Chains A and B, each alone.
Chain A
Amino acid sequence: AQSVSQHNHHVILSEAASLELGCNYSYGGTVNLFWYVQYPGQHLQLLLKYFSGDPLVKGIKGFEAEFIKSKFSFNLRKPSVQWSDTAEYFCAVTSYSGGGADGLTFGKGTHLIIQP
């Protein structure tokens, strides 16, 4: 079975600081990887995804993530955070079986607070 581990449950940063959120997954086959964000009171939004190809993927709002297969990692980064980045961040993984898409396995989430 798949599992996802997010190392940082709570992160507090000042505006303009750099951000890196760790994500490791456990699965022996081919996976697709995602980062979702949940702003206070809002529903989940896709930040970025990795299916194949260039392991460095860029998403919305200046976020990027790097897939390192040898480390089973998919860390999220942003060079300079803003107060509006305060939110819950979820790493997720899925595989595609012969019957189509499987559901997502989520990490426990990282609560990010950006202080002005």
Chain B
Amino acid sequence: SAVISQKPSRDICQRGTSLTIQCQVDSQVTMMFWYRQQPGQSLTLIATANQGSEATYESGFVIDKFPISRPNLTFSTLTVSNMSPEDSSIYLCSVEADGDGYTFGSGTRLTVV
């Protein structure tokens, strides 16, 4: 299955700033997915990133707050913009591997102070 490298693994950021999270996959994939896991909660899909087109956002998530780039078939970034303490979460990227299920990165633990 695909191997995902995600960084940073954790960060502590000041409110009002932005953080860009990187996700690198060891194979070419069509779709990459970004999730948020708030403290003590389940995972919620933020958006789907398809190479060569704009990301598709789920209800409750907007491009201005969570801009996504997908420059090629192995890489994507998620930016958390103008952060507030409510954005403190674990952010994960995921890929679907040839119909064999979904693989997840190790996540980025973000704390906004």
Binding site for B on A (CB under 8 A): 34, 43-44, 46, 49, 51, 90, 94, 99-109
Contacts and interface: CB of A to CB of B under 8 A. Distances in A.
A90 B42 contact: yes
B33 interface: yes
Interface residues of B, number: 24
Nearest to A90: B42
Interface in B22-60: 30-31, 33, 35, 41-45, 48, 50, 58
A44 B6 CA distance: 13
B96 A105 contact: no
B43 A100 contact: no
Contacts of A103: 33, 35, 45, 48, 58, 94
Interface string B81-110: 000000000001010100111111111000
Contacts of A102: 48
A43 B41 contact: no
Contact of A51 (B44, B92, B99): B99
A46 B103 CA distance: 8
